[in-house]
Structure 1
């Protein structure tokens, strides 16, 4: 242990670990909304930042790998009876261990804000994090070997730049299964909160990282040119094994779903409001606002009686879902802390569309629909751009067309105006054009 302690103090291991920790924690907290929904999102975001941490570990290893050349003690150590492999163990342990601990601390820094029991925890978090740790250890080992093989001053920075390019471009290469093997950040782009990384993908990239680590170790301890040439074999064998076990199925490779995280969790009382398990922490804030929206829709006969979070995995071609007109499907907006963003907009979101999910291929008149929605809400039509912060653009003519229609509705007797709004709702359900329905009496 004294040897390892000395190695930590005198080598670049501790400095590299502190730098990795600073970079990782800073990257996490620059955009906390990307992982604040839960543990798996945190693990995936941390893995995505291997585009920064993996090259850093590679460069740090390369810098350390040229230490004997820099100190000009290579011939001196060669003359000692102690095997080189034994002498290099403290170096490997210090560098790999320090960077592994740094990665764990990065994840822990994010996890400190997810300790509430309302945040969904999945074993996938442990697997995804473990692969991230392994990737940094592999980068450090490979860097040590390459630093010894090419002990030039420029090796470390060149490897750092090359590492960024390798991690990024291998993540977007085709075919997808090859990208899943080569890059530790593959599959970390998140499209929905209940997303995960398939176990087969984690197994494949783990094999590849272990192979790279073994190659680096062989390069570091090799005593002759033949041994150094043989160092490529572990990488080739590992690549072959990884490509043999990696899934080929597109849905498994691209944004797969954690079925438990996608399960709906609902309020105990009616009207039912349900969210996916991964977002159950917002159910308490969502329910009263969603019920206010249902109360507005209840003015119409046959109105929906429940609100469910939209749990569609659109990357898996789940656009076409069975329609249930008793349920309003709602897309949640979450803030940077994983809570419900813009609660007052929930009422509008529930009423918008008049409580039905019409077919997007059917004729739609957004000005008519907005006027009908505004009449139910009892307020003048407002541009979505001014109402919903996420909306950045809307044709000015849309609201300008909706306002006169809304004013005309307000001049009608309530029963007549409601009948026209119901006619618009029924037309959406039956895939009929809604144009003109607010301007004439409903049949």
Structure 2
């Protein structure tokens, strides 16, 4: 009965509704990065959960601010002295109030994920239980934030408390987000950024949070929630000081557990990124339907590459997260394909898939993502054409790019074809060394002076 009353007369329903409306507004009304490769929010339930954690940069301040508004209720109604004379312990009332506000704020966040789950199913995305740790930590953070807001509102019942607390939380969340974005914004990573629930962009649809992040944040937000509740229920200065102990203990345990560098913020999804293989040809479980299409072209490409020294012996899908500042991972013995960045490969025919494996003589670009250069693309195009005899656009860039640059690349290809066979071979071998070390100019290695 008391809990039902709190649900009706508190701000709890509005807090949950605000989280729901704001989150869905971002996801459906803005075309932000969550709609784009390599991590569309409807491609994988875990990716959906990661994007919701990203949006907590805006949602968490709402939960905290709403809690602060509700925490000032007794003071605004002039009932503080009356309630202090009742025989019922203060934590009884605090439990009902905190339960109502925290539960409905968490429900709003959970409903957003429910919409995301429906979108994943409608779009034929990948569904697995890997999202659970990501979502559970997010739910815990929303509850902890609302309880801290309740406590601050009760302790500082001023009209400016709620907006000031929401703004401070927003500023802190933005700074935390900047620190976990892997150097993209020029801000160094720091573990203190993980004391908010905000995560950086997923950078891939086959990644999730590692156990160190999940465990550390769980401990921290449990401590934060307990402190918020104890401060809400406390009736003396001594009780309030003791109420800070869970907060301190949570930080002391969590900070050493958090990853030491930004490279540890994401890990391969143990289910979606698991390899499914047909001999030397492997794809992720999320893209298992492409294995049959890739098996034949992949083996053909490996047979063509086999004449090179140290040639790749496997074709694998690239399953790691994508960096905005570093080139893709490479291995002399593996030809990687990236179905996340290069969505065209998900529907490509056999010839296109073979071309993708042969590009760069089995090695990926050395350019930073979204920073393609003529030297790199031209060199990798000519390397593929060396094996097939036909110069074609690389699948990851399509025809639009090559039509703007085809003159220079075709001229370099003509010069390369005019070379003796042994010279062509030696330069393809040299190109592999350049692409393995990312030191040198790929196109100039094949055709010296081609860029001049």
Q: Do the aligned partners of 2:330 and 2:336 also contact (CA within 8 Å) in 1?
A: no
CA gap of 1:380–1:400, structure 2 versus 1, over 3 A, is same
1:17 aligns with 2:25: no
Q: Distance in 2 between matches of 1:18 and 1:341?
A: 38
**Greater alpha carbon shift after TM alignment, 297-306 vs 419-428:** 297-306
Question: What's the CA shift string for 1:139-164, capped at 9, x where partnerless?
Answer: 11110111111112221111111111
Q: Distance in 2 between matches of 1:200 and 1:301?
A: 41
Give the corresponding residue for 1:144.
150
Question: What's the CA shift string for 1:43-81, capped at 9, x where partnerless?
Answer: 222222221221111001001111122222323333433
Q: Distance in 2 between matches of 1:216 and 1:39?
A: 31
1:370 aligns with 2:381: yes
Q: Distance in 2 between matches of 1:108 and 1:365?
A: 43
Question: What's the CA shift string for 1:287-346, capped at 9, x where partnerless?
Answer: 53785687689778849786421245677x99675412xx632122468xx896674765
The within-5 A match list for 1:26-425 is 26-29=25-28, 30=30, 31-33=34-36, 34=39, 35-115=41-121, 119=126, 121-122=128-129, 124-171=130-177, 172=179, 176-180=190-194, 182-186=195-199, 188-244=200-256, 246-247=257-258, 249-250=260-261, 253-258=264-269, 261-267=272-278, 273-277=281-285, 279-280=286-287, 283=290, 288=293, 291=296, 302=307, 307-311=315-319, 321-324=330-333, 328-333=335-340, 343=348, 346=353, 348-353=355-360, 355-357=361-363, 367=378, 370-371=381-382, 373=384, 387=398, 399-406=406-413, 424-425=427-428
Q: Do the aligned partners of 1:312 and 1:318 also contact (CA within 8 Å) in 2?
A: no
Q: CA RMSD in A?
A: 4.3
Cα drift, residue 94 of structure 1:
0.7
* TM-score normalised by the chain length of structure 2: 0.74
Q: Do the aligned partners of 2:106 and 2:142 also contact (CA within 8 Å) in 1?
A: yes
CA gap of 1:120–1:305, structure 2 versus 1, over 3 A, is farther
The 3-state SS of whatever aligns with 1:49 is: helix
Cα drift, residue 98 of structure 1:
0.6
In structure 1, runs of 5+ residues without a counterpart are: 439-443
Q: Distance in 2 between matches of 1:101 and 1:369?
A: 51
The within-5 A match list for 1:2-13 is 2-13=1-12
The 3-state SS of whatever aligns with 2:208 is: coil
Q: Do the aligned partners of 1:296 and 1:377 also contact (CA within 8 Å) in 2?
A: no
CA gap of 1:409–1:162, structure 2 versus 1, over 3 A, is closer
The 3-state SS of whatever aligns with 1:402 is: helix
Cα drift, residue 282 of structure 1:
5.2
